Structure 1
Amino acid sequence: MSLGQLLKMLGLGAVALTLGVEWVNWLARRLRPWRGPQGPLKEVLFFPSPITCTEHLYSPDRTSPCLCPLPHGIDTSFSRLLEHLLSACVSLELCVFSFSHLELSRAVLLLHGRGLAVRVLTDRDYMSITGSQIGALRRAGICVRHELSKVVHMHHKFALVDGRKLITGSLNWTATAVQSNKENVIVTEEPELVQPYRDEFSRLWEANDPANHNHHLPSSTATKGWHQ
């Protein structure tokens, strides 16, 4: 083997090693919780939030500027909330008492359209109030279940992004809560905090499976109004 061939092989080997290290680092970043100087992600958002344009979050590849009259390029609590939701790559699990916010509904529908696994748990009474987006989610084919008890409200307000990011707080998913109320939201990837919410979602999802209750209902109403 000539010296030139040896140097060429060593050069190719160095390139392959560099690419391999970069690939491993990229994969590790995707699989582990994001960690900054203070550890896993922890962020607190307070509302009400000013109304600004968030079109760039739904269409990040858009080349033409948005011409709507709302302020552009402003980071708000609501835009941060949307960013966290739209960061989902695999799944989104929602457990929300009241859901009527059109932009949040748009975000959930967008993720569903991308092929993500989306599941929604909501309250029996508030799923059908005027302006509720639950019907739109169901019509799009998203799996929705509601609290089966007639005397208990499903009052949770949390979301699980890819099973590793928790979004929770006092905020109902309504325009009034986002734009007018004093509300709070915490976003975290602390595994010790995320896991109990994953367990709670799984428990409630199974507890409110209509298939487990149909045998108590008359055959004519056993499947009426259900969407699993």
Structure 2
Amino acid sequence: MLSTSNIVLILALIGSIALNILFFSKSTSPEKLLQPSNDHEVEYAFSQLSNDPKTLLLNAIGESTSTIDIAIYNFEDPEISEALIEASDRGVKVRVITDSEKSKKKNRAKLLNTLTDNGIDVKIVTSKKMHLKMTMVDERLVVFGSYNFTAESASENMEQLVSISNINLVKEWTDVFEKVWHQSDTETWSK
């Protein structure tokens, strides 16, 4: 059973996310985002409080059929890496953008090499901290939150992850991903 303070925390976070979507979503009207619809499913997870962020992410990856675009600051979880490789093996086009400083650490570099060795496109942002944490799946689903792809995020930290099924929102966030993917300070990962 969740305590009152945990329920208040969850409601505050959901409200904050909704406000961010409303204020930072360019073309999607607030009315469209807030309309009850079977096309706009929202799921969320709070580590150690409600559901599990890693499970929410792995489910999204496991259900993918065509594309996965990920921008993640810190990526060192081999289970998530393996899920992406399995998706790629199913024919899903997978692209990953990460932070160049974080990618220099040995275990992270090894993981990124494994991804590229398995046909996954990986790029790093070199001129500034790439602190985005978002995943777009099949042009239908956005998964985002504080969750990094690390053991600490999975087992030690208090993290949240939200999954929103909204085609208009996914298009806008994919446009942001494309801009980062093609900007001059984003380079293809090499061993």
Normalising by the residue count of structure 1, what TM-score does the alignment of the two structures yield?
A: 0.61
Report the structure number with the largest CA radius of gyration: 1
Aligned residue in 2 for 1:139? 117
Alignment of 1:13-24 (within 5 A): none
Question: Which of 120, 124, 134 matches 2:100?
Answer: 124
SS of match in other structure, 1:125: helix
Give the whole-Å Cα distance in 2 for the aligned partners of 1:141 and 1:192.
Answer: 29
1:91-110 alpha-carbon deviations (Å, 9 max, x no partner): 11110111101111110111
2:147 matched to 1:171? Answer: yes
Match of 2:159 among 183, 189, 192: 183
Q: Relative to 1, partners in 2 of residues 1:175 and 1:188: Cα closer, same or farther, differing over 3 Å?
A: same
SS of 2:126 mapped into structure 1: coil
Shift of 1:83: 1.1
Q: Could you tell me how far apart the structure 1 residues matched to 2:123 and 2:71 are?
A: 10
Name structure 1 gaps, 5 residues minimum: 1-35, 51-74, 212-224
| C-alpha RMSD of matched pairs (Å) | 2.5
CA–CA distance in 1 between the matches of 2:62 and 2:152? 22
Could you tell which deviates more after superposition, 131-140 or 87-96?
131-140
Q: Structure 1 residues 139-148 or 173-182, which shifts more?
A: 139-148
Partner of 2:43: 43
Report the equivalent of 2:27: none
Distance (whole Å) between structure 1 residues aligned to residue 140 and residue 38 of structure 2:
17
How much identity, in percent, do the aligned residues show?
25
CA distance in structure 2 between the partners assigned to 1:77 and 1:155 by the alignment: 18
For 1:39 and 1:163, locate their aligned partners in 2 and report how far apart those are by CA, in whole Å. Answer: 13
Amino acid at match of 2:42: K
Q: 1:76 Cα deviation (Å)?
A: 4.2
Offset from partner CA, 1:96-136 (integer Å, 9 cap, x none): 11110111111011111112111111111111213212121
Find 2:87's aligned residue among 108, 111, 116. 111
Work out the CA distance in 2 between the residues paired with 1:111 and 1:162. 12
The match for 2:66 is 90
- Give, in angstroms, the shift of residue 177 of structure 1: 0.5
> What is the distance in 2 between the residues matched to 1:114 and 1:90?
9
- TM-score normalized with structure 2 length: 0.72
The answer for unaligned runs of 5 or more in structure 2 is: 1-35
